[in-house]
């Protein structure tokens, strides 16, 4: 997955853990995930497409996790449909920051970076289906010392609603047009953010679906897609499996 994808998906993960030690979401738990709304300056509605209502996860799934527990909770090839293979995580080398334009969008994304909080423990699993030009699946579980403020995912949605399309230039001079669009998705935790993202350069176009599920102290990030496109229904099924495995590990 390109540096640009990692940066802009990572920005969302950072925003999801703003203002730890939350006082609670308030009100009833929403049935559908929050998504982006490029037609409005402020995205204030959940995805409304009719779909199955998902029950809230068990309370234990929100408990703070150790590194070992995260390792057990991550998806494995045996949890996935036929055709998936495990791939090693990319080396965590320092990446140069991409240049974003227009300036308004750079300011929005930089603000998200500046308010990030480090996880107490974290783990990642990566998978591929169909070879180098096939489909990828990435899962990250991050666990924090304090409960995550689930209401902050709305601020991520609002940020991308303000800047649904922008250009990213990496250190090699490669320019990618990044477009973020809404996606219907169930709320699988205390709150869920889901959106589609396309990165288009002169060499290729990558389409991915992204979901962040906030449960107590934990954030599960799921990314699915590739050069062949992305399937939101598939990602939701895989995310449900991820939540079920987390519940079993934490109970």
Per-residue pLDDT for 143 more than 90? Answer: yes
pLDDT band at residue 24 using 50, 70 and 90 as cut-offs: very low
- 3-state DSSP: the chain helix, strand, coil percent, rounded to 5? 30, 30, 45
Q: Distance between CA atoms of 19 and 17, rounded to whole angstroms?
A: 7
In order, the DSSP letters of 147-192 are ---GGGHHHHHHHHHH-SEEEEE-TT--EEEEEEEE---B--SSEE
pLDDT band at residue 133 using 50, 70 and 90 as cut-offs: confident
Per-residue pLDDT for 164 more than 70? Answer: yes
Average pLDDT (13-20) is: 45
Domain 3-20+31-250 has CATH 3.40.1000.70: yes
Query: pLDDT tens across 64-110, in order?
Result: 999 999 999 999 999 999 999 999 876 655 556 778 899 888 877 77
Residue scoring higher pLDDT (21 or 69): 69
pLDDT band at residue 23 using 50, 70 and 90 as cut-offs: very low
Residue scoring higher pLDDT (78 or 199): 78
């Amino acid at each position: 997955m390109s540096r640009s994808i990692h940066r802009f998906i990572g920005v969302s993960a950072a925003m999801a853990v703003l203002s730890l030690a939350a006082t609670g979401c308030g009100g009833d738990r929403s049935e559908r995930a929050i998504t982006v709304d490029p037609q409005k300056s402020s995205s204030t509605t959940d995805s409304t497409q009719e779909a199955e209502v998902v029950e809230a996860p068990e309370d234990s799934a929100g408990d703070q996790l150790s590194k070992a527990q995260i390792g057990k909770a991550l998806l494995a090839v045996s949890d996935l449909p036929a055709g998936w293979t495990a791939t090693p995580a990319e080396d965590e080398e320092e990446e140069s920051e991409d240049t974003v334009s227009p300036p308004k969008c750079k300011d929005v994304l930089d603000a998200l970076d500046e308010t990030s909080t480090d996880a107490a423990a974290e783990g990642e699993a990566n998978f591929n289906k169909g070879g180098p030009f096939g489909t990828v699946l990435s899962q990250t579980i991050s666990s924090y010392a304090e409960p995550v403020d689930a209401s902050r995912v709305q601020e991520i949605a609002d940020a991308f609603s303000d800047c649904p399309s922008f250009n990213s230039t990496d250190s090699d001079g490669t320019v990618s047009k990044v477009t973020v669009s809404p996606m219907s998705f169930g709320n699988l935790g205390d709150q869920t953010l889901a959106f589609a993202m396309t990165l288009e350069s002169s060499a290729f176009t990558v389409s991915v679906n992204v979901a962040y599920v906030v449960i107590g102290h934990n954030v599960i990030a799921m990314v699915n897609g590739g050069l062949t496109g992305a399937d939101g229904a598939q990602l939701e099924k895989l995310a449900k499996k991820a939540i079920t495995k987390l519940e079993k590990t934490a109970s």
